[in-house]
A and B are shown apart, each in its own frame.
Chain A
Amino acid sequence: MTPADAAVHLRVPASLRTYAGGSSGVDVDLTELGDRRTIGGLLDHLAVTHPDLERRIRDEQRRLRRHVNLFLGNDNVRDLSEQDTPLAAGVEVAVMPAVSGG
Chain B
Amino acid sequence: MTTLLMIGTRKGLFLARSYDRLSWSLDGPHFATNAVYAAAIDPRPAVGGGLPRLLAGADSEHWGPSVFRSDDFGASWQETEGGAIRFPTDTGEALVRTWQLRPAGADQPGRVWAGVEPAALFRSDDGGETFSLVESLWDHPHRERWMPGGGGLCLHTVMPHATDPDRMLVGVSAAGVYRTDDGGASWEASNTGIDAWHDPNPHPEFGQCVHKFDGQRDRPDQLFLQNHGGVYRSDDFGATWTAIGETLPADFGFPVAAHPHRAGTAYVYPLVKDAHRMPPEDRSRIYRTTDAGESWQPLADGLPQQHSYVSVLRDALCTDDADPAGVYFGTRSGEVFASADEGASWTSIVRHLPDVLVVRAAQLP
Contacts and interface: CB of A to CB of B under 8 A. Distances in A.
Interface of A: 15-16, 51-52, 55-57, 59-61, 63, 65, 67-68, 97-98, 100-101
A83 to B, nearest CB: 15
| 6 closest A-B pairs by CB | A59-B94, A56-B63, A60-B86, A97-B62, A67-B62, A101-B61
A15 B32 CA distance: 11
B95 interface: yes
A65 B96 CA distance: 10
Contacts of A98: 62
Nearest to B83: A55
Given A15-B62, A52-B81, A56-B64, 4 more contacts: A51-B81, A55-B64, A60-B89, A67-B62
B93 interface: yes
B87 interface: yes
A16 B94 CA distance: 21
B193 to A, nearest CB: 38
Residue from B61, B62, B83 with most neighbouring chain A CB atoms (10 Å)? B62
Interface in B49-63: 60-63
29 contacts: A15-B62, A15-B63, A16-B63, A51-B81, A51-B82, A52-B79, A52-B82, A52-B83, A55-B83, A56-B63, A56-B64, A59-B95, A60-B86, A60-B87, A60-B95, A61-B89, A61-B92, A61-B93, A61-B94, A63-B94, A65-B64, A67-B61, A67-B62, A68-B63, A97-B62, A97-B63, A98-B62, A101-B33, A101-B62
A65 B62 contact: yes
Contacts of A55: 64, 82-83
B89 to A, nearest CB: 7
Q: Chain B interface: which size bin? A: 10 to 19
Contacts of B92: 61
Contacts of B95: 59-60
Nearest to B93: A61
Contacts of A100: 61-62
A20 B94 CA distance: 23
A25 B79 CA distance: 21
Contacts of A16: 63
A15 B83 CA distance: 16
Interface in B77-127: 79, 81-83, 86-87, 89, 92-95
A16 B62 CA distance: 11
